[in-house]
Each structure stands twice: as structure tokens, then as C-alpha cells.
Amino acid sequence: MNETKAREAICAIGASIFNRGLTAGSSGNISVRVEGGWLMTPTNASLGRLDPARLAKLDDSGRLIAGDPPTKESFLHRVMYEERSDTGAVVHLHSTHSVAVSCLAEVDPTDVLPPITAYYVMRVGRLPLVPYYRPGDIALAEAVRGFAGRHHAVLLANHGPVVAGANLDAAVNAIEELEETARLYLMLRGAKTRFLTPAQVKELL
Ligand SMILES: [Zn+2]
């Protein structure tokens, strides 16, 4: 994707995410790999009101070369690109249902959500829970790094999901699938439920 198209796509998808209530206020951030570096949403910017011309442009070493300063959570994105060479885009949201699940005491931290649907298994797969760290703590980046090589999607405890994809559409589709699955999981809690069996999951992977 060329840089102009990437800038427009980030703003269009940001508005779509914001307008559907998938992240609120100035939370959530998006990055896309482009020739010579990355485009990233700016710090304190609402995904609902992004300006293509003001997106942060970082060079290959992560230095700001144009636009507004990048999100303070840029390290979450950098870790994904560094650990997963096939990454073309990263999306991080404070999406309500995923955050709710990230706060539950009894989830399996090695795989937070059960295999409810085939699409969740195919687009997200195993979802590890990254322990809580305060915002800005560099230890969070290192904790995410520990999972990023094996997982393109992680859930930060009491915070929200981070998802990498080969391109922006793939990353957005996966994080939306994750959020919908978190919503279904909360709806089904307490009800006797048939999840996909290990054999059915294996067939999809
Ligand atoms: Zn965040």
C-alpha cells in the first residue's frame, strides 16, 4: 500500500472503529508499515477525528520524521514489528468487552477466550494474557515481546488487546473478531455452552 493510501485507510478505519464504539475518547492506536518506516496515530488523538496529513511518520529506527508525535503506546507496536517480520499493521484498542474479559479473575492466562466460533479460531487463535503494568512502564513492552514471537494477538490485563496483521484489513478484522468473541463469551457466562472441540479446532489450524 502506498503512503497516501495508507494515510487515508488509517483515518477511515479509525473513524469506523470510533463511530461503532470500539474504542472511546482518545484511546486506541493504529500503525501501518510503509516504505522507509511507519505511519502511526498521534498521541492524544481520537481515532474518530484523525487528519491524514498529521499522522506520525517514523523512520526505520523509530525516529519521528514528520507529523505529530506518535501515541505514547508506540512501543506496543514496535515490539510486534520487531518480533514478527510478516507484520504490516498493528491495532490496539480499549474495546469494552475485551477489556472486561481482561479483568476477569478466573480466565486461563495462556489462552483467555474459549474457541466459540471457527472465525475466532482462524483469525485470533490462542490469546495469551499479558500481566498488568502501569501505563508507560517499559516492562510492559518486554512482557509483550515475550509473547509476540508466538502470538499475533495478545490481551493486556486490565487494559485491552494488541493485534498484528499482514496488512491493516487483516489486523482490524482480527481485533474486531476478538472483541465480538469477548462479547459472546460474556453473554454465555453461566450458561451451559458447547465450545468447539479440540478436534474441531485442530481442523481449522
Ligand atoms: Zn492502551
Give the global pTM: 0.96
Tell me, in angstroms, the distance from the centre of ligand 1 to residue 26's CA. Answer: 10
pLDDT tens figures, 78-112? 999 999 999 999 999 999 999 999 999 989 999 99
119-146 burial, b at 16+ Cβ within 10 Å, e below that, comes to ebbebbbbbbbbeebeeeeeebbebbbe
Tell me, in angstroms, the distance from the centre of ligand 1 to residue 191's CA. Answer: 31
Q: What was the pLDDT predicted at 108? A: 96
Residues in CB range of 5: below 8 A, 6 or more apart: none
Q: What was the pLDDT predicted at 1? A: 75
Cell digits for 33? Answer: 508499515
The residues annotated with a catalytic role in the active site are: 119
Q: What was the pLDDT predicted at 97? A: 98
pLDDT tens figures, 143-164? 999 999 999 999 999 999 999 9
Tell me, in angstroms, the distance from the centre of ligand 1 to residue 203's CA. Answer: 34
Residues of the chain with pLDDT under 50: none
Q: Which residue has the cell 501505563?
A: 135
Q: How distant, in Å, are the alpha carbons of 8, 37, 124, 162, 203 from that of 179?
A: 24, 29, 10, 11, 23
Tell me, in angstroms, the distance from the centre of ligand 1 to residue 200's CA. Answer: 33
Cell digits for 3? Answer: 503512503
Tell me, in angstroms, the distance from the centre of ligand 1 to residue 28's CA. Answer: 6
Q: What was the pLDDT predicted at 92? A: 97
Tell me, in angstroms, the distance from the centre of ligand 1 to residue 121's CA. Answer: 24
Tell me, in angstroms, the distance from the centre of ligand 1 to residue 199's CA. Answer: 35
3-state secondary structure of 160: strand
